[in-house]
Structure 1
Amino acid sequence: MGKCVFKFSKLSNSSLFAGLLAALLASACFADRRSESSTQATNGSAAGDTLHYELKQFKAFSPYLTGTESSIDSTLFTAQYPVFNPEIDSMVLEAIFIDGEQTVEQVSESFLGGFNEYAEEQIDAGNEAFHAWFKHQDSKVVLNEPGVLTLRTAINDYTGGAHGMEIELWFTFDVAQKKRLALTDFVSDTTQLLTVAERHFKKLENLADTAAYGSSYFFANDSFVLPANFGLTREGLLFHYNPYEIKSYAEGSTTLVIPYSDIEELLTEEGRRLYKELSTKI
């Protein structure tokens, strides 16, 4: 069962509007719990998955409200993440709690604690119309086949400024070896991989094979590079560029997928073993 945390001891707005918001938030929390139970019952462990897991949900609010009596907002943290058996959980911990935390409560306390300090500073300065923050984290099992597990953690947050930020982080694990895969564990010839990947990238971006990247992309010296952010999927080897990595924020993220059939000759021995496992499902 997921968790909802409410603390309203420090509300700075009128008790009427604080009470109304508290009731609304509580209602939303209980609705979320009902849907979560349904999710776990139907999708917690899909048919044919090698590893059993359950989806957990967590929600917590800051004790500080912001705004006016006609418009009140609250800072919110939410998370959804898979829970496996203890041995697998210890292996995938870095993919779910990406800043080194051990629990979802630690992630929540760190985020809300930062906002609470900011809110106290604003209230002490006489400003009760400061911006609320939010952070939504969704860790998803993308691939769960014999010997291979890929997780994607998407984070959407806002902590002030002109806009929020959305990122995706990808992690692939060799379940038999109980380790996270590095690209060189899967591909032996990364130089040739770069050539194949660039061809797919230019096709994705509708660029001619001989086109230069110029000022439209953030490639140093006009040289194509792959991100460290990659994962194995059923469709192929996936690379994900987050906003600002190779394009402006307004242009968003870029996801590049290279079919395994295009790189089969470049795989390591371990890569071939994993690809053999995957090929029976593709």
Structure 2
Amino acid sequence: MGKCVLKFLTEGKSRLLLLALAILMVSGCFSDRKSESASHVTTERAPADTLHYEIKQFKAFSPYLSGTEMEVDSTIFTARYPVFEAEINDLVQQAIFIDGESKVEQVSDSFLGGFNEYAEEQIDAGNEAFHTWFKHQDSKVILNEGGILTLQTAINDYTGGAHGMEIELWFSFDVPAKKRLALTDLVADTTQLLQIAERRFKKMENLSDTASYGSSYFFDNENFVLPENFGLTKDGLLFHYNPYEIKSYAEGPTTLVIPYSALLDVLTEKGRKLFDGLSDKT
């Protein structure tokens, strides 16, 4: 969230002053270039993996500022995401625009529109030092080989309250089949997978094989569960628990990776073929 310090020239702060300050913020404090507008998109080349793609970057600001006579702040939305050829874009759109949008501008408009309504309410009430918001979204290509495409979308946002929120969402796709992979596409015996995963989880958390989870974890009835949030990586099958899923916010997220070598007995035929297609297996 960008921030700059300005000295107000007048004691009264009107909407016209807010608008003027917004222009200054966009053109000066928040911009790497003098000509940059309130929203901006840039493109960079990505490494040459199996599928060709480019990286797009987008940022936009709210025109409403908040602050005191010495300091003002603005709300910002940023996004970084890969762009493939049209057919692959259609396939992975759900991994980048997680609320069903089709364009980054729709995500930006929704977020900034919500803030703008809040800001107008605060200004009308005479409160000009209200909280500003931010939302940063970063979608990365984690795996792009052997017919598998894995994307990780990390979202860090704040819309008021004691703290913001950070989440990671994982998506893996079977590129030749043009479909998102479900866990049952890969694993034939989910009961045995759960046992394998729990053993590795307890080892990672420094718990004995017979230790209970107690109040330290949010497992219902102390029964270990895997999150629906998973992805295929070069290191293995990854499961990611976001904050509040099994631990408090202060303890942060938890990521569990199970090497493919530990899964050989539970894989489907499709899972074996996909894993065999990876150049690096553990």
Same fold (TM over 0.5): yes
> Secondary structure of the equivalent of 2:32?
helix
Q: Distance in 2 between matches of 1:57 and 1:91?
A: 20
Q: Decide whether aligned partners of structure 1 residues 57 and 267 sit closer, same or farther in structure 2, where only a CA change above 3 A counts.
A: same
Match of 2:69 in 1: 69
Q: Distance in 2 between matches of 1:137 and 1:154?
A: 6
Q: Decide whether aligned partners of structure 1 residues 11 and 154 sit closer, same or farther in structure 2, where only a CA change above 3 A counts.
A: farther
User: Is 1:134 equivalent to 2:134 in the alignment?
Assistant: yes
Q: Decide whether aligned partners of structure 1 residues 90 and 276 sit closer, same or farther in structure 2, where only a CA change above 3 A counts.
A: same
Contact 2:41 2:57 in 1 (8 A): no
Match of 2:93 in 1: 93
Q: How does 1:143-158 map to 2 (within 5 A)?
A: 143-158=143-158
Q: Distance in 1 between matches of 2:69 and 2:113?
A: 24
Structure 1 residue 168: deviation in Å? 0.1
Query: TM-score, normalized by length of structure 2?
Result: 0.89
Q: Distance in 1 between matches of 2:25 and 2:92?
A: 37
Q: Distance in 1 between matches of 2:34 and 2:140?
A: 21
Q: Which runs of 5+ in 2 are unaligned?
A: 1-14
User: Is 1:125 equivalent to 2:125 in the alignment?
Assistant: yes
Q: Distance in 1 between matches of 2:34 and 2:55?
A: 16
User: Is 1:24 equivalent to 2:29 in the alignment?
Assistant: yes
Q: Distance in 1 between matches of 2:206 and 2:224?
A: 15
The one-letter code of the counterpart of 1:25 is: F
What do residues 179-200 of structure 1 show as CA deviations (whole Å, max 9, x unaligned)? Answer: 0000000001000000000001
Q: How does 1:100-249 map to 2 (within 5 A)?
A: 100-249=100-249
Structure 1 residue 68: deviation in Å? 1.3
Q: Decide whether aligned partners of structure 1 residues 11 and 168 sit closer, same or farther in structure 2, where only a CA change above 3 A counts.
A: farther
Contact 1:53 1:83 in 2 (8 A): yes
Contact 1:11 1:64 in 2 (8 A): no
Q: Distance in 2 between matches of 1:207 and 1:97?
A: 38
Match of 2:18 in 1: 13
Contact 1:64 1:119 in 2 (8 A): yes
Structure 1 residue 175: deviation in Å? 0.4
Q: Decide whether aligned partners of structure 1 residues 203 and 113 sit closer, same or farther in structure 2, where only a CA change above 3 A counts.
A: same
Q: Distance in 2 between matches of 1:213 and 1:29?
A: 55
Q: Distance in 1 between matches of 2:22 and 2:69?
A: 9
What do residues 158-209 of structure 1 show as CA deviations (whole Å, max 9, x unaligned)? Answer: 0000000000000000001100000000001000000000001001111111
Q: Which runs of 5+ in 1 are unaligned?
A: 1-9
Q: Distance in 1 between matches of 2:179 and 2:35?
A: 38
Moved segments of 4+, more than 6 Å: 28-31
Q: Distance in 2 between matches of 1:245 and 1:18?
A: 39
> Secondary structure of the equivalent of 1:120?
helix
Contact 1:11 1:63 in 2 (8 A): no
Structure 1 residue 108: deviation in Å? 0.3
Q: Distance in 2 between matches of 1:100 and 1:19?
A: 31
Structure 1 residue 146: deviation in Å? 2.4
What do residues 122-173 of structure 1 show as CA deviations (whole Å, max 9, x unaligned)? Answer: 0010000000000000000000002100000000000000000000000000
The one-letter code of the counterpart of 2:252 is: G
Contact 1:143 1:150 in 2 (8 A): yes
Aligned pairs, number: 265
Match of 2:52 in 1: 52
Q: Distance in 2 between matches of 1:188 and 1:124?
A: 59
Structure 1 residue 27: deviation in Å? 2.9
Contact 2:241 2:253 in 1 (8 A): yes
Tell me the C-alpha RMSD between the 2 structures: 2.2
What do residues 15-43 of structure 1 show as CA deviations (whole Å, max 9, x unaligned)? Answer: 4x555423122336879x99955xx24xx
Q: Distance in 1 between matches of 2:41 and 2:23?
A: 25
What do residues 3-62 of structure 1 show as CA deviations (whole Å, max 9, x unaligned)? Answer: xxxxxxx665384x555423122336879x99955xx24xx1x24x11000000000000
Q: Decide whether aligned partners of structure 1 residues 243 and 65 sit closer, same or farther in structure 2, where only a CA change above 3 A counts.
A: same
Q: Decide whether aligned partners of structure 1 residues 26 and 137 sit closer, same or farther in structure 2, where only a CA change above 3 A counts.
A: same
Contact 2:134 2:159 in 1 (8 A): yes
Q: Distance in 2 between matches of 1:11 and 1:36?
A: 31
> Secondary structure of the equivalent of 2:93?
helix
Q: Distance in 2 between matches of 1:226 and 1:29?
A: 49
Match of 1:261 in 2: 261
